[in-house]
Amino acid sequence: MAGTRECEPSYLSLHRSGELDRRVERIRELLSPCRVCPRRCGVERIRGETGYCGGGLLPKISSYGPHFGEEPPLVGVYGSGTIFFAGCSLRCAFCQNYEISQERYGREVSCEELAQIMLRLQDRGCHNINFVTPTHFVPQIVRSVSIAVKQGLALPLVYNTGTYDSVETLRLLDGIFDIYMPDAKYADNDIAIALSDAPRYVDVMEEAILEMQRQAGDLVMDRGIARRGLIIRHLVLPGDLAGSGRILAFIAEKVSRDAYVNIMDQYRPCGRVGDLGADPRFAVLNRRLTAGEYERAVSAARRSGLHRGIPLGNS
């Protein structure tokens, strides 16, 4: 079927060498005690204990299917084969998937069933398998990939993350994920704690994106479809709470001026924004983003030398 074997993902060579199965075992060790994400909460997930993220031993998904609302290089004609995981290592007050990420709506599945879901998405012609909020289920995802590849999985894998990711974990993913799609949320650690309960977010995010860039490099497309590389997302917040100019400068100066960046304008008050109370710093979160605020972020990106992405240009 179209889109399934146009380019060989790097994990296929890991599978042929036996390295993929070795990685499964090494990554599984991160569950006991749990140090999958930077929180390193230390629960014994092998024994079924759940951590801050809500994740236990089995992966928990809320939905899956071809998705046409992602970036054009992922969607193509047949859609991105998206799997939404329940739970999250962050607590973003304005999360648009609040029911999934924080109320943890979904069902537990075995790794064998998760592998079958990947294969069904491939059979439907999807251009990739897109794991949304994968951080807390990395060991289970890698095991499922190892199962699926033995049954014919041959699509690029997308790591679609809020970027509260441990470099230790990411290094074990080298050669498994061809496409990384990290969020670059904040330029200020105090804001990150207040809005996402994410200590050291800026440091963690920057280190993670640099590691992803080392592994996958700038976005490479074949006939408009992403095959390898990074797609960096940045959600502009009202009142410049995200520090857009500083984030975009980091991408241009430290990651790559050829980075593909999606500067997003879809902020709306939702999730737990109402729980922020009377803190004057966050009153602006009770309104939508203005056109002027968005244009200032786009202008900052262009001044920094960024030129690929949305709305910078899709080349």
What's the pLDDT score for residue 274? 80
Contacts of 306 (CB under 8 A, 6+ apart): 248, 251, 252, 257, 259, 261, 312
- Give CA angle at 209 (137, 294), nearest 5°: 105
Confirm if 304 and 253 have CB atoms less than 8 A apart.
yes
Quick check: is 107 in a domain? yes
pTM of structure: 0.95
Tokens 């064998």 -> residue: 112
Mean pLDDT of the region 240-252: 97
Q: Residue 218 pLDDT more than 90?
A: yes
Q: Give the closest residue to 133 by CA, choosing from 151, 106, 171.
A: 106
Q: Which helix (H) or strand (E) holds 81?
A: strand 80-85
Per-residue pLDDT at 209 exceeds 60:
yes
What span, in angstroms and rounded, lies between the C-alpha atoms of 185 and 44? 30
Q: Which of 285, 128, 136 is nearest to 222 (CA)?
A: 128
Residues 124-167 have pLDDT tens digits of 999 999 999 999 999 999 999 999 999 999 999 999 999 999 99
Phi, psi dihedral angles at 309 (to 5 degrees): 130, -155
What's the token pair of residue 287? 């309104």
Asked if 212 and 222 touch (Cβ cutoff 8 Å), the reply is: no
User: For 99, which DSSP code?
Assistant: H
Judge whether 211 lies within some domain.
Answer: yes
49 lies in some domain = yes
* DSSP 3-state of 170: helix
> What does the DSSP 8-state code read for residue 313?
B
- Beta-bridge partners for 81: 66, 129
Q: Are 72 and 109 in contact (CB under 8 A)?
A: no
As given in the structure block, the two tokens for residue 226 are: 């992403």
Q: Does residue 16 register a pLDDT over 90?
A: yes
pLDDT per position as a tens digit, 62-107: 999 999 999 999 999 999 999 999 999 999 999 888 788 888 889 9
Note whether residue 1 is domain-resident: no
Bridging pattern class, strands 157-161 and 60-67: unpaired
Whole-angstrom Cα distance, residue 72 to residue 314? 8
Find the length of the chain: 315
105 Cβ partners below 8 Å, 6+ apart? 62, 86, 99
At residue 201, does pLDDT exceed 50?
A: yes
Q: At what angle do helices 138-149 and 111-123 cross, to 10 degrees?
A: 60
Which pLDDT score, from 0 to 100, does residue 116 have? 98
265 lies in a domain?
yes
- Model pLDDT, residue 281: 84
Please state the separation of Cα 287 from the chain's center in Å.
26
Its domain, for residue 222, covers 11-310
DSSP secondary structure string for all residues of 178-215: SEEEEB---S-HHHHHHHH--TTHHHHHHHHHHHHHHH
The answer as to whether 297 is a domain residue is: yes
Which residues, 6 or more positions from 109, have their beta carbon under 8 angstroms from its beta carbon? 58, 59, 60, 61, 117
Q: What is the pLDDT of residue 7?
A: 66
**Structure letter (DSSP) for residue 103:** S
CATH number at residue 159: 3.20.20.70
Within-domain flag for 220: yes
pLDDT score recorded for residue 277: 67
* Six-digit token string for 301: 């990106």
Q: What is the model's pLDDT at position 2?
A: 37
In a domain, 290, yes or no: yes
Write b or e for each residue in 6-21: b if 16 or more Cβ atoms lie within 10 A of its Cβ, otherwise e.
Answer: eeebbbeebbeeeebe
Q: What is the pLDDT of residues 250-299, one digit of tens each?
A: 999 999 999 999 999 999 998 888 878 667 888 999 999 999 999 999 99
What is the number of domains present in the chain?
1
Of the chain, the percentage scoring pLDDT greater than 90 comes to 88
Q: Exposure of 193 by Cβ count < 10 A (0-12 exposed, 13-18 middle, 19+ buried)?
A: middle
| pLDDT for position 6 | 45
Does residue 4 have a pLDDT over 50? no
What phi, psi does 123 have (nearest 5°)? -65, -25
